[in-house]
Amino acid sequence: ESSEPLIAAVTTTGLVIGLSQGGPVTITATSEGKSGSATASVSTRPATRLAFAQQPGLSTAGAPLNPPIRIALQDNFLETVLGATNPVTIAIAGNPAGGVLSGTTTVNGVNGIATFGNLILDRVGTSYTFQVLSPGLVSATSTPFDVTAGSANRLSITQQPSPNAQSGIVLGVQPVVRLQDGSGNNVATAGLVVTASIGSGIGSLGGTVTATTSAQGIATFTNLVISGTAGNFTLGFSVPS
């Protein structure tokens, strides 16, 4: 029998099995009126491999991955080694869009789990994967996941207006702008009104000075006219909040 059966138990055939870390445990055996005892301690098996306890899921560019990715430090029997504190490093394995991973990319295990709580990917893409590594342990690769664009918070000019223009004459090349998120990813949001205005230069802007974004998040101006004295002009574009 065992003095601490929750740590080390004795089977009906007399085999001693370690169940949890601890000890020393006294094991007593009796046969034919004679008894003997021995002590034993149970230690955990060492971590030999990594596994994703929480896989990455659909994420938003420029925002922390949610839920946080959790990596289990496991033994050869695929059990989490609760005492393991090994350092674990995460990196992009499959990178379909040239994304950059930021945040804390190396953390130590706590109770056998390494948690990455502030990872951010900056580029929209499909089927990203992560790989995790730790010295001396078998690495692991995540299941594929996608990154989508964040909310639109800026404009990008995809077609510049004519470099030369005449006062009072419709610009030969009209500007085209599109919505982007904070990481520079294109945002496909329809129905936002973009307003053009004079950015610098002495004059006025005529024609239809507003354009509405399409389903692709693109606003195309069609008949802008600058009237004013000769000189250098710039145009500005904004979306009212």
Tokens of 144: 């594929």
| Cα 60 to Cα 147: distance, rounded to the nearest angstrom | 5
Residue corresponding to tokens 């399409």: 214
Nearest to 149 by CA among 102, 109, 97: 97
Nearest 5°: CA angle at 207, between 203 and 209? 85
Lowest mean per-residue pLDDT among 5-9, 75-79, 154-158: 5-9
The dihedral built from the CA positions of residue 93, 98, 104 and 106, taken in this order, carries a sign that is positive
| Cα 174 to Cα 230: distance, rounded to the nearest angstrom | 19
What is the pTM assigned to this prediction?
A: 0.79
Reported as a single tens digit per residue, the pLDDT across 72-81 is 999 999 999 9
3-state secondary structure of 202: coil
Reported as a single tens digit per residue, the pLDDT across 10-67 is 888 888 887 777 888 888 888 878 888 888 887 778 999 999 999 999 999 999 999 9
Tell me the pairing of strands 106-108 and 87-94.
Answer: antiparallel
| Cα 62 to Cα 181: distance, rounded to the nearest angstrom | 8
